[in-house]
A and B are shown apart, each in its own frame.
Chain A
Amino acid sequence: MEKVKFYYLAPEELNKIFDYFKARGYKIAGPTVRDNAIVYDEIKSVNDLPLGWTDEQSPGSYRLKRRDDKALFGYVVGPHSWKKFLFPPILTLWEAKRENGKFKICESGYDGEKFVFVGVRACEISAILIQDKIFGGGQYAEPNYLKRRENVFIIAVNCNDPGNNCFCLSTGTGPKVLTGYDLVLTEVISEGKHYLIVEPGTEVGAEVLMSLDFREATPDEIEEAKKISGEAINKFKKEVDLDGVVEMLQSNYENPLWEKISEKCLTCANCTMVCPTCFCNTVEDVTDLTGQSAKRIRKWDSCFTLEFSYIHGGSLRYSTMSRYRQWMIHKLSTWKNQFGMLGCVGCGRCITWCPVGIDIVENVKLFRSDVLKFKT
């Protein structure tokens, strides 16, 4: 690729990119306000983005608030993540029919949809790369995921203002977008100016920008954008030292702290549903009333349910403690053994959407001080 060029876009000029892809059969998926939250859904134009909205988050709490500007990306992350497009919550894997005493199994699953993801954060790109590893990087690949993933164009956005529950600086997955994008945006709002600086990350991205006749950004504009996004790292309110956490947790399965930190847990599974990396799923085999056709439906599942660990005779993880422990040790420890990285990208969703505000960051800190206490 030639030297990377930066382009200047007025906010409404994003529509040009959307139209470019719509003409090529893509659907545009992006953030939009619905039911008092910023969710990811199909959008038509820039006007569907959460213009002038922000989100205020704390453990167990999420509120939308008006900003005093017209920012397109002036919030952090909501209850949705991009996994709902790549790894749909409910998916028919195959259908089978009885014919002349035999049965025939036909693959279903992917219907050819192509998506542009708009406003993907650095932590979310990390989450997508993690799921790429899970569904495509091992001995067995998940063909549905891979087909969907091949047909995605990613427009990322740098985070200028991390939220109260964000800790991607600690997980090393943000706030600046460094990899895994086709285009990356930096939104600049200052002294009456409001514009986007766009930088391509792939050949395809560069071609799109070139073909749409955007003007190249001036050195001053590029400088201003860099300054604004560069300041983000100084604005974090949540930080945690994750050094050695993999070993620490796996050598503390029987620490009494687990009882304490899981005391409030309702095993509602919210944390696993909002988590952008959680991949556990189950299948249901169903048949029609005549018994002539059957299908297998895959659904998101959660390690917080009793059924999850059921083997003949009963559930293996019968206590709330053991299910919370399974989730947290998986996220921050055994995930590393399985896939080579942690399963946490520091997005803070599990903290925000936990109805009782259990905070994984605080729990790591509790473990750290407890383990250190016994060491000295």
Chain B
Amino acid sequence: MELVEKELLTTIQNPMLPLTFQVRSRRQETKDTFTLEIEPVESGVEFKFLPGQFNMVYVFGVGEVPISISSDPNRWNRIAHTIRMVGVVTKAMGKLKKGDLLGIRGPFGSSWPIDRCSECDIVIVAGGIGLAPLRPAIYHILSNREKYNRVVLLYGARTPDDILYKNEIEKWRSRFDFEVYVTVDRGTTGWKGNVGVVTTLIPRAPFNPENTVAFVCGPEIMMRFTSLELLKRGVKEHNIFLSMERNMKCGIGLCGHCQFGPAFICKDGPVFSYSQIKDLIFKREI
């Protein structure tokens, strides 16, 4: 599979105008999280994206929020967003049904460097809803499996009920060429899997740190601890990638909201290497 060149990604003439998409399906993932599969209403629209990019998603008359794309980058025009209901807009999204309309601006931002190396180990570390922006990278890696050496997913959720994409994870786990480890912060009755925070999986995960590229996504504290743990194992700073979150309003570097030191998270990020941001990520209120 060939990924599109980033320059060709701008599907819209005016990046400030949303395109209309409609909901194809809605799936409840956990108590507060759901996945919408959407497609463009207008024919002739070709929506391509890279793993790790996001859209600005608009609910008519309610508002617009940045949401990462969680579908297969190989399937254009069939876009999925996994959304947690936390604010006014995401709660309104939670009420959408098949056939309802959404405004989409995007795709925006940088992507996971999936072609950074050949024959290297890939370690994907996800915390909570941080698995959503990593899923397109997983799809890409699995459909180009021969290009990589070991592929490992370390996924931490709050409780067993908060685990996203349960059926899919089971499928991934059954593959012989994909090492999947899931852990929860708090076990519940009947949970037979790991209990402990996701960082505890790192020391014992099977990968060769010398030749590993790591993709990390989750709450910022989790990403900091994970980076330190990966460094402790010997993964190189420039091979650790994190997906940052800030207040993104315009998505195109024109509104100033998502500044992180010299970077605009929306267009220079959200994916950064650890070496790019290590001087800022441990400072407060940047």
- A residues apposed to B, CB below 8 Å: 93-94, 96, 98, 102-103, 105, 107, 134-135, 138-140, 142-143, 250, 253-254, 279-283, 285-287, 291, 294, 296, 301, 303, 308-312, 316-319, 321-322, 325-326, 329-330, 333-334, 337-338
Which residues of chain B come closer than 8 Å to A318, judged between CB atoms? 285
Contact residues, B220-254 vs A (CB, 8 A): 245-247, 249-250, 252-254
- State A135–B254 Cα separation when bound (angstroms): 7
B20→A102 contact, CB < 8 A: yes
A301→B255 contact, CB < 8 A: yes
B247→A140 contact, CB < 8 A: no
Most buried by A among B18, B63, B285: B285
Contact residues of B: prevailing secondary structure? loop
A-B pair number, CB within 8 angstroms: 112
A105→B257 contact, CB < 8 A: no
Which residues of chain B come closer than 8 Å to A310, judged between CB atoms? 247
Contact sample, A vs B, 22 pairs, CB 8 Å cutoff: A102-B101, A103-B103, A105-B20, A107-B14, A135-B254, A142-B16, A279-B256, A281-B250, A282-B257, A285-B62, A287-B62, A291-B61, A296-B64, A301-B257, A303-B259, A309-B246, A316-B246, A322-B284, A325-B285, A326-B259, A333-B262, A338-B262
- State A283–B252 Cα separation when bound (angstroms): 13
A334→B256 contact, CB < 8 A: no
A280→B17 contact, CB < 8 A: no
- State A98–B87 Cα separation when bound (angstroms): 24
Which residues of chain A come closer than 8 Å to B246, judged between CB atoms? 309, 311, 316
A312→B87 contact, CB < 8 A: yes
B16→A311 contact, CB < 8 A: no
B257–chain A nearest beta-carbon distance, Å: 6
B14→A282 contact, CB < 8 A: no
B253→A311 contact, CB < 8 A: no
With an 8 Å Cβ cutoff, the count of chain B residues facing the other chain is 39
A259–chain B nearest beta-carbon distance, Å: 12
Which residues of chain A come closer than 8 Å to B283, judged between CB atoms? 253-254
- State A250–B280 Cα separation when bound (angstroms): 10
Which residues of chain A come closer than 8 Å to B58, judged between CB atoms? 285
Contact residues, B56-112 vs A (CB, 8 A): 58, 60-64, 86-87, 101, 103
Per-residue A-contact encoding for B247-275, CB less than 8 Å = 1, 0 else: 10110111111010110100100000000
- State A254–B41 Cα separation when bound (angstroms): 50
Among A250, A280, A286, A321, the residue within 8 A (CB) of B256 is A280
- State A337–B256 Cα separation when bound (angstroms): 14
Contact residues of A: prevailing secondary structure? mixed
A147–chain B nearest beta-carbon distance, Å: 11
B41→A102 contact, CB < 8 A: yes
Please tell me if B286 contacts chain A, counting CB pairs below 8 Å.
yes
A278–chain B nearest beta-carbon distance, Å: 8
Which residues of chain B come closer than 8 Å to A338, judged between CB atoms? 262, 264
Among A94, A138, A279, the residue within 8 A (CB) of B16 is A94
B57–chain A nearest beta-carbon distance, Å: 12
Which residues of chain A come closer than 8 Å to B61, judged between CB atoms? 285-287, 291, 294
A143→B64 contact, CB < 8 A: no
- Top 10 A-B residue pairs of the complex, sorted by shortest distance between their CB atoms: A287-B61, A280-B256, A337-B262, A322-B285, A140-B252, A294-B61, A334-B262, A285-B63, A317-B285, A140-B15
Among A308, A325, A337, the residue within 8 A (CB) of B247 is A308
Which residues of chain B come closer than 8 Å to A321, judged between CB atoms? 285
- State A321–B283 Cα separation when bound (angstroms): 13
Which residues of chain A come closer than 8 Å to B252, judged between CB atoms? 139-140
